[in-house]
């Protein structure tokens, strides 16, 4: 079955620096990927998504890169702020959105002052 995993469970960065969170996936049938941010005790919050026919997408302070050759995607957060502290999950979907998402293990991003 499909699995989506993250390389690092915890990432600590200085405030103002850029953060890069990585994710690997195994299911070639995944046709879109989403990054979510989850704060303690809350539901996931959408950050950015990317379709499988793209290799890069930019949002406000965030960029997602997709490398289908090695089945890898990353989330780049520019100029991290204290409010960016959270657990970040990548998730993969298929079936044109009809199927539920497969989530990775999560990376806890810690912003140091």
* Distances, alpha carbon 40 to alpha carbons 22, 74, 80, in Å: 21, 22, 18
Residue with smaller CB distance to other proteins, 46 or 60: 46
CB atoms within 10 A of CB 45: 11
Residue with smaller CB distance to other proteins, 10 or 58: 10
Query: Count residues contacting other proteins (CB under 8 A)?
Result: 25
Residue with smaller CB distance to other proteins, 78 or 110: 110
User: Least distance (Å) from other proteins to the CB of residue 16?
Assistant: 28
Residue 100 near other proteins by CB under 8 A: yes
By three-state DSSP, how is residue 96 classified?
helix
Torsion sign over Cα 65, 32, 72, 70:
negative
Residue 36 near other proteins by CB under 8 A: yes
Segment interacting with other proteins, rule: CB under 8 A, options 22-30, 63-71, 78-86, 98-106: 98-106
Q: Left if phi > 0, otherwise alpha if psi is -120 to 50, otherwise beta: which for 95? A: left
CB atoms within 10 A of CB 1: 5
Residues making contact with other proteins (CB under 8 A): 32, 34, 36, 41-46, 49, 51, 89, 91, 93, 96-106
């Amino acid at each position: 079955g499909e699995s989506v995993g993250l390389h690092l469970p915890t990432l600590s960065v200085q405030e103002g620096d850029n953060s890069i969170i990585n994710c690997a996936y195994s299911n070639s049938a995944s046709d879109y990927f989403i990054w979510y941010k989850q704060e303690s005790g809350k539901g996931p919050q959408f950050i950015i998504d990317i379709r499988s026919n793209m290799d890069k997408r930019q949002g406000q302070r965030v960029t997602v890169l997709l490398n289908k050759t090695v089945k890898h995607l990353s989330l780049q957060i520019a100029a991290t702020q204290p409010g960016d502290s959270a657990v970040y999950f990548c998730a993969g979907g298929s079936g044109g959105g009809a199927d539920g998402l497969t989530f990775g293990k999560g990376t806890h991003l810690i912003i140091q002052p």
